[in-house]
């Protein structure tokens, strides 16, 4: 079932509005406005579908796409997203990705899809695998079918570092052999593989962005910020902030017997703004008939204990910690090599420091609970 809010227009202008950044006009390269190194043959604003645009990353990317002058339709069933996070100048369609074909019609004239809609809790995926396969993999395949039928040329996928499992070496490059240790990682890897096949068979220009740990918040000069608001919350930094703010009694850390310096998991944290900018670059860099894969991380690993200490420093509040057993499917260390994104996309993180990431997350948290 599709619930249209504001309607989905079937005819969109292809003329570039004043102030809009450019988008490649069929030559596979972007101009400097979108982040590439080449000038396109034709400059134009485009019409894009963003699935999961009411979620954390999807809503930030939507805002950046709109600010770049593009038309954006957000498709989200609000199962985990927040309606108030959807940019008011985007068209909103409340629907499941299983029903994407009702929006992605040939007549609608979409130029690309950015696919964020998914379930993301690795621990939950181990006890509810059928839910994750149905949502993340079957739903994505339905979306890819709709993309093919509507002849949409470009597809950017929100993948994950969880596809690598316990890597043999770190930092992890895109050439590392995938070996997911969670159902969540396996469902995302299945979609990555499907996109490789789709690009080869049907000339799709596909890009997978393998995120490491996304955190921080988007804080515009005016208006409300966008940050993490999962329900239930499962990510370390927002939970630690809840403890610092007195909304939780203590923070559970899962496992202190990993083969790391302090026994807790080590992760690579990336600011959500830096991550979102990479998607605009990837959209411009997508090439017909190719499936390109990029890791997105800062290349620096921080243990869970180190993250907690930074939260204490930034907030000025205590964060009591209780150790708990390991969670099934959690790798010991995930640290990115993002050299490919830096070299091929020209992507450079603007906020690589953990204090910046935690500081922005804390600012958003206080704004949210003011």
Q: Is the peptide bond before 232 cis (omega within 30 degrees of 0)?
A: yes
With tokens 């895109």, the residue in question is: 174
Find the helix or strand (DSSP H, E) in which 266 lies: strand 266-271
- Assign 294 to helix, strand or coil: strand
Cα–Cα distance between 326 and 344 in angstroms, integer?
Answer: 37
For every residue of 74-139, DSSP letters joined together read: EEE--SSS-GGGS-TTSEEEE--GGGGGGTS-GGG---EEEE------HHHHHH-HHHHIIIIIIH
Task: Determine how β-strand 3-5 pairs with β-strand 91-94.
Answer: antiparallel
φ/ψ of residue 369, rounded to 5: -110, 20
CA 117 from chain centre, in angstroms, equals: 9
Cα–Cα distance between 151 and 104 in angstroms, integer?
Answer: 9
Cα–Cα distance between 7 and 98 in angstroms, integer?
Answer: 19
DSSP-derived letter for residue 231 is S
Structure tokens at 156: 């950017």
User: Is 56 designated active site?
Assistant: no
Structure tokens at 182: 């969670």
With tokens 């450079």, the residue in question is: 348
For residues 26 and 42, the answer to whether their CB atoms sit within 8 Å is yes
Closest CA to 162 of 142, 187, 128: 187
Structure tokens at 140: 């994505």
Cα–Cα distance between 174 and 360 in angstroms, integer?
Answer: 29
- Assign 37 to helix, strand or coil: coil
Set 56, 132, 164, 184: catalytic member: 184
| Catalytic residue annotation | 184
């Amino acid at each position: 079932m599709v619930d249209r809010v504001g309607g989905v227009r079937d005819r969109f202008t292809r003329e570039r509005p004043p102030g809009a950044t450019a988008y490649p006009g069929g030559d596979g390269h972007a101009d400097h406005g979108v982040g590439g190194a080449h000038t396109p043959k034709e400059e134009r604003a485009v019409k894009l579908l963003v699935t999961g645009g009411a979620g954390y990353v999807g809503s930030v990317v939507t805002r950046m796409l709109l600010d770049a002058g593009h038309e954006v339709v957000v498709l989200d069933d609000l199962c985990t997203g927040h309606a108030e996070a959807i940019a008011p100048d985007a068209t909103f369609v409340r629907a499941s990705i299983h029903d994407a074909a009702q929006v992605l019609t040939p007549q609608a004239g979409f130029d690309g899809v950015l696919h964020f809609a998914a379930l993301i809790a690795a621990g939950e995926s181990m006890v509810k695998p059928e839910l994750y396969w149905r949502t993340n993999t079957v739903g994505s395949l339905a979306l890819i079918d709709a993309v093919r039928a509507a002849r949409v040329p470009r597809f950017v996928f929100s993948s994950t570092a969880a596809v690598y499992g316990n890597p043999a070496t770190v930092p992890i490059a895109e050439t590392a052999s995938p070996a997911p240790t969670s159902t969540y990682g396996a469902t995302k890897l299945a979609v990555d593989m499907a996109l490789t096949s789709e690009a080869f068979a049907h000339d799709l220009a596909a890009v997978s962005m393998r995120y490491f740990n996304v955190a921080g918040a988007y804080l515009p000069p005016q208006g409300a910020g966008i940050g993490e608001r999962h329900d239930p919350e499962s990510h370390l930094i927002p939970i630690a902030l809840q403890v610092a703010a007195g909304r939780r009694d203590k923070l559970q850390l899962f496992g202190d017997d990993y083969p790391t310096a302090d026994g807790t998991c080590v992760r690579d944290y990336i600011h959500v703004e830096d991550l979102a900018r990479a998607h605009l670059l990837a959209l411009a860099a997508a090439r017909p008939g190719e499936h390109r894969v990029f890791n997105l991380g800062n290349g620096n690993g921080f243990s869970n204990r180190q993250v907690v200490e930074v939260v204490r420093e930034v907030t000025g509040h205590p964060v009591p910690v209780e150790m708990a057993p390991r969670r099934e499917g959690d790798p010991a260390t995930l640290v990115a090599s993002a050299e490919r994104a830096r070299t091929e996309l020209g992507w450079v993180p603007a906020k690589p420091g953990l204090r910046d990431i935690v500081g922005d997350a804390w600012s958003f948290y206080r704004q949210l609970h003011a």
